[in-house]
Chains A and B, each alone.
Chain A
């Protein structure tokens, strides 16, 4: 049973990363391979604010989140907007380049050592039937789910959110109706970075932060997005949680050395058997 609890913890992080992939996919049609780096930046930012500048937690979190939005918007302005021929292949390549650049910068700024962020809430172990979770893991789950719910409310209820959905359905029609598509795309990167940084902040006390952390979490988040159906909001969340649980489950029955390989096997199986993902629908296309 323990693998379910641990799986939900790591899965909720994959879910946040998958949401980041989906939001950008929906507004731009590309995969942003720098999504994992945003998670790493989140951990680094909170470490810097808390441990180096000694800012209290209730201030440090909003500051980090604000910085996340700015980083996301700058990401769009620097890397995406400047591409002369913005077709999908070029943009995806640019995100891979950006990820490498961000990782390199992080190494220069924060060094190669593993950094420790102390827990935000007092440490305690909560027992569940057949397993247990720490208070910090519960915080990860709660914050991730809360973030996903508020984001879905934002897309459903607010006019800005509706503009996002309009862009997803038909960019041309949306822009005719007065939606500034470029503006929405910029915000999409802002929100994606925001999600990454949320994930980075909540996991830092459990997993520590190293400058290379973005690679694996990014790829697993991508696997989660594929599993749930690329572009599908709740599909991403479910994909993340399922991936986490599957991974934990297989690590507990197979030799644990194959744990990471499993996430990528899932991508393969989904692409072979159900390319639209578990919860994805085929987008109707006019011939």
Chain B
């Protein structure tokens, strides 16, 4: 009798842990300085996985989600990626949130041959191209081009840049410098700051002495908010432009009045309702926004949109290719005309990002809210 019982239990366990479902890994920085990026990504992904499973899964198979917090620390991302691959045996990984963390695990994705869909923006993630590494966030150069086109139409030619000394800031700086040369703009000042700097007046004073037409600040977290405050304090007569790294309500909360009038490139999601009805993005964005906001009771952020795009792309690929990793990658490379939260994705064997400068629109902060800036 005891033996029968044991065999019965073994059988139950054996069927319970069947490997039939799709195993999806995710690495987000849900705590730490980049938590305002990671949290919406995590919540979006949870929401989508739950919804997909409720509607019968992919090809009739459920998705099991394995999600870890990288705390925004590169070493932690490496550790958790290895855990996802070795212990959780996932088919693909979404994330990490930050560029630095993604670059830190790029070699691991190749070593373990696991498709990785990064939610970070650095161009270095896909350049040089790694067969297993995709990126759903637009590159810095797309954002930079969008800004530079705007500055050119306004007749502004002398630009000062102020960039953070981290993965995001460094790759932004590279793009700002190289694109300026291509587009014939003059970089009159090139300053940097650290994430934990609490006063930027020295840098901004140096910048203001060069009389730039526009100051472009590239950073994430509280530091750009301090830049905005100091900029106002010094009454610098130039246009202040920020990166998409501050496209979150937390920035407006931290910078307060100093945020007014700042222009930044961002995803359409931020102004979903304000888009013209003719926009092909509008209905998809408004649906996602409403669903997110009613589920979590907080406003949607464009960073959550990266998780949305990553999940939709991997879902599309799983639908056609199943979970064979080589086929999965091939099928992702074949995705074209996918209308995502960040523009239209056209992947190819050579382009693992699939976006161009129109991934971004320019917005202005007015009365503590985002307004579409006509370009």
Do A and B belong to a common assembly? yes
Query: Chain A's nearest CB lies how many Å from the CB of B356?
Result: 32
Could you say which residues of chain B place their CB within 8 Å of the CB of A213? 196
Is A152 part of the contact surface with B, judged by Cβ < 8 Å?
no
A251 and B234 contact, CB distance less than 8 A: no
- Chain B interface extent, by class: 20 to 34
User: What would 6 more interface pairs be, CB under 8 Å, given A113-B36, A132-B234, A256-B203?
Assistant: A131-B205, A210-B196, A212-B196, A255-B191, A256-B206, A257-B194
A113–B257 Cα distance when bound, in Å, is 21
- The residue in chain B whose Cβ has the minimal distance to the Cβ of A252 is B202
Residue of B71, B193, B226, B233 touching A125 (CB-CB under 8 A): B233
If A133-B233, A208-B225 touch, does A259 touch B194 (CB 8 Å cutoff)? yes
Q: Of the candidates A2, A203, A216, which one forms a contact with B205 in the assembled complex, judged by CB atoms under 8 Å apart?
A: A2
17 example contacts (A-B, Cβ-Cβ < 8 A) are as follows A10-B199, A111-B31, A113-B35, A114-B222, A125-B232, A206-B198, A207-B199, A207-B226, A208-B254, A210-B222, A249-B202, A251-B202, A255-B191, A256-B191, A256-B193, A256-B206, A259-B197
Knowing A112-B33, A210-B222, A256-B203, the reply to whether A125 touches B235 (Cβ < 8 A) is yes
Using A112-B35, A260-B194 as known contacts, say yes or no to A2 and B71 having CB atoms under 8 A apart.
no
In the assembled complex, the Cα of A3 lies from the Cα of B230 at a distance in Å of 12
Contacts of B226 in A (CB 8 A): 206-208
Contact status A2-B192, CB under 8 Å: no
Say yes or no: B201 contacts A123, CB within 8 Å.
no
Known A114-B222, A133-B233; judge A3-B253 contact (CB<8 A). no
Instruction: Please give me the residue from chain A that is nearest to B253 by CB atom.
Output: A116
Contact at B31–A259, with CB atoms within 8 Å?
A: no
Q: Are A216 and B196 touching (Cβ within 8 A)?
A: yes
Q: A112-B35, A260-B194 are in contact. Are A3 and B205 (CB under 8 A)?
A: yes
Closest to A258 in B: B192
Taking a contact as CB atoms closer than 8 A, the residue among A114, A255, A260 that contacts B221 in the complex is A114
Q: A112 with B71: in contact, given A125-B235, A208-B225, A256-B193 (CB under 8 Å)?
A: yes
Partner of B203, one of A207, A216, A249, A251: A251
Most buried by B among A114, A123, A216, A256: A256
A6 close to chain B: CB less than 8 A: yes
B201 touches A257 (CB 8 A): no
Of A207, A216, A257, the residue contacting B165 (CB under 8 A) is A257
- Whether B254 and A114, one on each chain, are in contact in the complex, defined by CB atoms closer than 8 angstroms, is yes
Given known contacts A125-B233, A208-B225, A259 and B33 CB-to-CB distance under 8 angstroms: no
Interface string of A97-122 (1 = CB under 8 A from B): 00000000000000111101010000
Q: Which residues of A contact B196 (CB under 8 A)?
A: 210, 212-213, 216
Per DSSP, chain A at the interface is helix
CA distance A29 to B155 in the complex (A): 63
Tell me the bound Cα distance from A212 to B221 in angstroms.
14
From B32, B202, B234, A256 is in contact (CB under 8 Å) with B202
CB < 8 Å neighbour of B254 from A111, A116, A251: A116
Contact of B201 among A3, A111, A112 (CB under 8 A): A3
Residues in B neighbouring A132, C-beta threshold 8 A? 233-235
Q: How far is A2 from B230 in the complex, measured between Cα atoms in Å?
A: 11
CB interface residues, B 201-215, toward A, < 8 Å: 201-203, 205-206
Q: How large is the interface on A (under 10, 10 to 19, 20 to 34, 35 or more residues)?
A: 35 or more
A20 within 8 A of partner (CB): no
Q: Is A248 on the interface with B (CB-CB < 8 A)?
A: yes
**Residues A6 and B35 in contact in the complex (CB < 8 Å), given A132-B234, A210-B222:** no
Give the distance in Å from the alpha carbon of A255 to the alpha carbon of B226 in the complex.
19
How far is B199's CA from A10's CA once the two chains are assembled, in angstroms?
A: 8
**Top-10 shortest CB links A-B:** A251-B202, A207-B198, A2-B205, A6-B201, A114-B222, A257-B192, A252-B202, A112-B31, A256-B203, A248-B202
Contact between B202 and A259, CB atoms less than 8 A apart? yes
Closest to B34 in A: A112
| A256 contacts across to B, CB distance below 8 A | 191-193, 202-203, 206
CA of A263 to CA of B198 in the docked complex: distance in angstroms? Answer: 15
Query: A145: shortest Cβ distance to chain B, in Å?
Result: 18
Given contacts A133-B233, A257-B165, contact A2 B257 (CB under 8 A): no
| Cα separation A113 to B202 with both chains bound (whole Å) | 26
Partner of B199, one of A9, A112, A123, A212: A9
Tell me if B35 and A252 are in contact (CB < 8 A).
Answer: no
Within 8 A of B (CB), among A121-143: 123, 125, 131-134
What's the Cα separation between A119 and B232 when bound, in Å? Answer: 15
The answer on a CB contact under 8 Å between A252 and B205 is yes
Roughly how many angstroms separate A216 CA and B225 CA in the complex, as a whole number? 19
Cβ distance B200 to chain A, nearest Cβ, rounded Å: 8
CA distance A251 to B198 in the complex (A): 13
